[in-house]
Amino acid sequence: MKSIWALLSVASLLALGSCGDDNGDGGQPGEAPPIADFSGRYEGVERGTEGGAPLDTLLSVTIGQSAGDISGNWLNAKGTNGSFTGTVSANIANFSGTETGSGCPFAGTATLNGNQLVGTATRAPSATCPALDANFDLTRLAAGTTIVNVTINHIFAPTITNIINQTIFVKQNIQLIAIVKIINNSPVNHWLVADDGSFDTGNIPPGGTEEISLSRSGDIPFHCRIHPEERGVIHVDPPDFQVSPTPSPTASPTVSPTPSPTASPTPTLSPSPTVSPTPTVTPSPTVTPSPTGSPSPSPTVSPTATPSPTVSPPAPEAVQVSIVPGGTILGDDSYQPNPVNISVGMTVRWTNNDTVDHTVTSDTNDLFESEVLSPGDTFEHTFDSPGSFPYHCAIHPSMVGSVVVTGPSPASSPGELEPTASPSVS
């Protein structure tokens, strides 16, 4: 970024030197003052009212300038954003624009004094847009930016003896987020990981890009998982301004009144019930017992058959495959043995015996895929159907292998015994 600001400073000097008269005598009293350079990124506060409600938020503004014309965009901490255009006279800019989404217009003026940009923005109320009456006080960022684009060859600049520990400078925005966009302009894959685990880009193939979002300031060392000797640092600066939050008023506690006790009503006495006379009981007739029948014989019970226990054969051990050291350049010799010949139902276990990360990834149908295997890690897969199953390393696609599975799909496990029933006893 220092080079960018240097160019801006040169442009400012050229603008100052070109404001004299045609004779080149440096200008005469009464001539128009030089046009100030508004270009850059600004952050600060915006206060006022919108729709009658208080407005107090952080504001980030980016301005580009061509001669006396400016254009730019803005974002505040409420999530509202928009764009604007305007013209510059000396160090004063008049601008107008619209909010994204609502389309509500606004207009205002801004004055630039050094790196301090102050001004106002207003809008008359309408049927669809609330009134706006705001002022802002912003500071042009001295260095860095909220988003930087860097290339792999820029991060890892090789020297005769080692790799330069390249530092990337980035600044947080008003939402305390900084973004670094990694562009892989090298001919091989790269995979950037923070030493403290705060970010992980995943594998970036040649020509690929990946964005890193950083929410803390300070130095964040990182390395390449594929090429561990490649290291670097991202230096994150906080925003250039500090805003003290407006304290919320303390609410007075609400006192609930104590309810008065309710008097219980005097109970009403019910009259005594009328006693009914005792009814006369009629005697029941005498019942003649029925003759006793002959007892029924007890049925014969057959015992339940007890099945013999099922005996399962021991599971076969997994077939071992090694990801060999230096496999990144060995092609179809990267996995040993290759091919692997097994029977249906058998398991293959891959072990990363190399010094860098690898994967085991099926070529088709996502049949099997390991996580990233660091040195010493293992991965297993059981093959339940016959066929030939090619695979590769997702990080180093030139590393290939295959598994050849023979035999029919098992209908049942061998050695399983049918239960034998014991004879029934009558």
Q: Could you write out the DSSP letters of every residue in 186-233?
A: SSS-B-EEETTSS-B---B-TT-EEEEEE-S-EEEEEEESSSTT-EEE
Torsions phi, psi for 302 (to 5 deg)? -90, 135
Q: What is the pLDDT of residue 270?
A: 47
Q: What is the pLDDT of residue 20?
A: 43
pTM above 0.85, yes or no: no
Task: Judge if 33-140 and 147-237 fold alike in CATH terms.
Answer: no
* All residues at 6 or more sequence positions from 233 whose CB lies less than 8 Å from its CB, including other chains: 165, 166, 167, 168, 219, 220, 221, 222
Residue range 319-406 forms a domain whose CATH class is mainly beta
- Of residues 68, 71, 8, 70, the one with CA closest to residue 34: 68
CA-CA distance, 246 to 77, in Å (whole number)? 14
Residue 335, exposed/middle/buried by CB under 10 A (0-12, 13-18, 19+)?
buried
Quickly name the fold that domain 147-237 has.
Answer: Immunoglobulin-like (2.60.40)
CA-CA distance, 116 to 113, in Å (whole number)? 5
pLDDT-flagged residues of the chain (< 50) = 1-27, 144, 158-165, 242-248, 251-252, 260, 263-277, 281-282, 286-296, 301, 412-426
155: Cα separation from own chain's centroid: 24
Q: What is the pLDDT of residue 176?
A: 73
Alpha-carbon dihedral sign for residues 44, 49, 50, 55: positive
Give domain 33-140's CATH architecture.
Answer: Beta Barrel (2.40)
113: Cα separation from own chain's centroid: 40
Q: What is the pLDDT of residue 148?
A: 59
Q: What is the pLDDT of residue 415?
A: 43
